[in-house]
Amino acid sequence: MKSPRHTLFRSATAAFAGIFGLAVLAAAPQPAAANEAQKLIDDATSMVRSMLADEEWADFHKLLKDAKGVVLVPDFLEAGFLVGGAGGQCLVIARSGPDQSWSAPSFCLVGEASLGLQVGFQKSEMIMLVMNDQALVEIAEGTAKFGGEAGLAVGMIGAGVKGATTLNFDKDIYAFARNQGLYGGIVIDGGWIGPDSDYNQAYYGRAVTARHILIDRRVANPATNQLIAALKQPS
């Protein structure tokens, strides 16, 4: 059963699609969803390779070594006219065990909504480094929120930021983003992230939860090997 937040995100994205011509994230038939899921994995693989090769991301390399997991968002879309909204489909991959190996990816959705005078559109690439086990569990269980008293503390890093002195190293998540468009930067405070059960089922061929994938490691798919290999590239 889909959560109200999951349904709201897809409905809101469909509404933005009608205004701004964005891709609609409506539920697709299972074979189509599996193909779209593989495209998301391929896009995430390209993004990871690009960011790991980019000298602008000195802090990214330092933090990746200690990250408990990563959230990969190849297309984070922000659009607004008075009422703003942002979000995208994403992947979560966890690291655990004596060998610190990466799990299979779990599909997810990330979203943010805001009120205020804002006009514009922006498409971004974003990698979130999950720095502790509790944050990873909240993402897997669909209870993760960004900012506020009860939310996860997020450090936003943009292109061109270099050196460890730019970070306090006390955040639950560090989000590295590259963008293009009319907005000046990405803001995800007040946003949320949670599993996409439709894509998980379509891609792995059976009903599995994010916990089954990330923590229990009950499933695998050889088509994710290139993505896992990209994360293993030496810095």
Q: Are strands 173-181 and 106-130 parallel, antiparallel or unpaired?
A: antiparallel
pTM: 0.79
What's residue 188's pLDDT?
67
7: confidence class by pLDDT, cuts 50, 70, 90: very low
Most confident of 21-30, 70-79, 88-97: 88-97
Residue 48, CB half-sphere, CA atoms under 13 Å: how many? 26
Query: CA 209 to CA 214: how far, in whole Å?
Result: 9
Q: What is the reported pLDDT for 15?
A: 41
Compare 182 and 206 and report the one with higher pLDDT: 206
Mean pLDDT for the chain overall? 77
Which one has a higher pLDDT value, 126 or 77?
126
- Sequence spans of domains, the chain: 4-231
Q: Which amino acid is at 59?
A: D
Beta strands 106-130 and 101-102 are: unpaired
The two structure tokens encoding residue 57: 């991301």
When comparing pLDDT for 139 and 168, which is higher? 139
* Res 120: pLDDT: 61
